[in-house]
Amino acid sequence: MTDTPAAIAVEPRPPGEAGHRPARRAAARYATYPTAEHFSARFGAAPLIAALSARRVASQTVCTPLAVHVQLPFHDPLHHGTYAEASARHRERDSSYLDALEREVTLVVEQIGPCRAVSRLHLGGDSAGGLGDAHLARLMGLLRRNFHLEPDAEVAIDVDPATVDAARLAHLRELGFDHVVLAVADVAREELDHVGDLMSAARGLAFACIDIELGDDIASSSRTLADVAALQPDRIVLAACDRRPARTNRAPVADDATGQAALFGSEALSCLVDAGYEAVGMGQFALRADALAAARREGGLHMTLQGYRAQPDHDVLGLGVAAIGRIGDCLYQNARTLAAYHGALEHDRLPVTHGHVVDAEDELRRDVIQALMSRGQVAFADILARHGVDMRSSFATEIARLAPFVVRGLVELHGDRIVVTPGGRHAADEIAAVFDRYLNEHAGPARPGRAVQ
């Protein structure tokens, strides 16, 4: 699943289909820096084209694999018309959307050149698993014709359990998916029984990884978590615990983080530990034998656009309405409405409407933020070696702002590093946000300076 894209203006779902909206993929805070809320609306396609061109030139020496994320819109309920009429309308809309995606892929491929190896493919959005069999096969055919999936590539899809059965999972497996994310929005007994049946079917089909994501209003119940943990998915994501730093004109405060940390120490979550899960961070849990948990223990965790991963993403190609991507030093987001997305592609333009070109200070602060988020500490020597910056002098203002977190036991300050304590792990976004210049510009954050030799 992912900085969560802005709300997408889409058509409604017909009566008679699944009666609830699936849980939204939990936001991956600081998966990009700056975050999408700070992307410029004056951004156009030109910087992305330049970045794709630069990648094409660089790939003549080294071909670095891409991660590809395809964003699909959601079908909301209709309030008029018959189910048959609604189904026909949705098939027509899905076909039109795939036409637009095909045009976007063509425009990208024209720029990106022959280096199109893919190490991770993710079909996200609320209706990814809801595409009809023919449309989903068409989409995967489009992607396979234009990109080269590596033999060990992770191929993942978000699925609303209410729209899937064992036969549908078998079709997904035939199309090459090996990682399924079940977005659970209803924990009625029959719903959990159905999820359990789907998991049994997925294991029989040799899916490599099964995730369960719980919606905002169901993730804090100890009984719910115990029931879900008993199913033993490889990973569990709690959307209710995945909260973006508040957009305010003040620095984040330790009280907010303390509340979040207390939540993770509560009885409601202790059952996950008892069931064999380790806290990865920011609402993500993994079985102790899972690669994600191992990466956390070994300090090899990475933040990506789809959350924590054991391997980093280098360039991320975002395709579809509201998709977010990163190519080189270019962060971008596609048009956030279907009308704008279709409109750009009808005129043979890449549908980019928001973005940011990363500068040297962004790179420095991103390294600090991601070290705190992924490894739980930032070593001053690493920052000096990578950027030639002495954190103690250049970030004196930010380090001083960590004092309330230190008092609460969430952070430890050492002479050579900043450490997030186990109790502060789930407040890591609030701690890292102290170093976010876009949140703290009003306070005059120190401009990173060169180390004194």
Give pLDDT tens digits for 393-421.
999 999 999 999 999 999 999 999 999 99
Residue 6 has pLDDT above 70, yes or no: no
Give the pLDDT score at 191: 86
Report the distance separating Cα 394 and Cα 448, nearest Å. Answer: 5
Token output for 169: 């999972």
For residue 188, the model assigns a pLDDT of 75
Top-level class of domain 360-443: mainly alpha
State pLDDT tens for residues 268-284.
578 888 999 998 887 88
The residue among 10 and 62 whose pLDDT is bigger is 62
Q: Residue 196 pLDDT > 70, yes or no?
A: yes
Pairwise CA distance, residues 226 & 396, whole Å: 44
Query: According to the model, what pLDDT value does residue 10 have?
Result: 37
Q: What's the pLDDT at 314? A: 86
Closest CA to 96 of 261, 285, 282, 342: 342
3-state secondary structure of 256: helix
Q: Give the separation between CA 139 and CA 71, rounded to whole angstroms.
A: 12
Q: How confident is the model at residue 15 (pLDDT cuts 50, 70, 90)?
A: very low
Looking at residue 241, what DSSP letter applies?
A: G
Percentage of the chain lying above the pLDDT 70 cut: 78
State the Cα–Cα distance between residues 408 and 387, nearest whole angstrom. 31
Most confident segment among 72-86, 164-178, 222-236: 164-178
pLDDT band at 185 (very low <50, low <70, confident <90, very high): confident
Nearest to 102 by CA among 310, 423, 320: 320
Residue 154: CB atoms within 10 Å: 20
- Strand order in 352-357's β-sheet? 277-281, 284-287, 235-238, 209-214, 179-184, 148-159, 117-124, 66-71, 315-319, 324-327, 330-334, 352-357
7, 312 Cβ separation under 8 angstroms: no
Nearest-angstrom CA–CA distance, 423 and 67: 32
335, two tokens: 């048009």
Say yes or no to pLDDT of 93 above 90: no
Distance of alpha carbon 346 from its chain centroid, rounded? Answer: 28
pTM metric for this prediction: 0.84
Backbone angles phi, psi at 192, to 5 degrees: -65, -35
Residue 291: C-alpha distances to residues 16, 153, 234, 296, 308 (Å):
40, 15, 10, 9, 11
Q: What is the mean pLDDT of residues 175-190?
A: 87
Across 135-149, 196-210, 434-448, least confident range? 434-448
Q: Where are the domains of the chain?
A: 36-242+282-357, 360-443
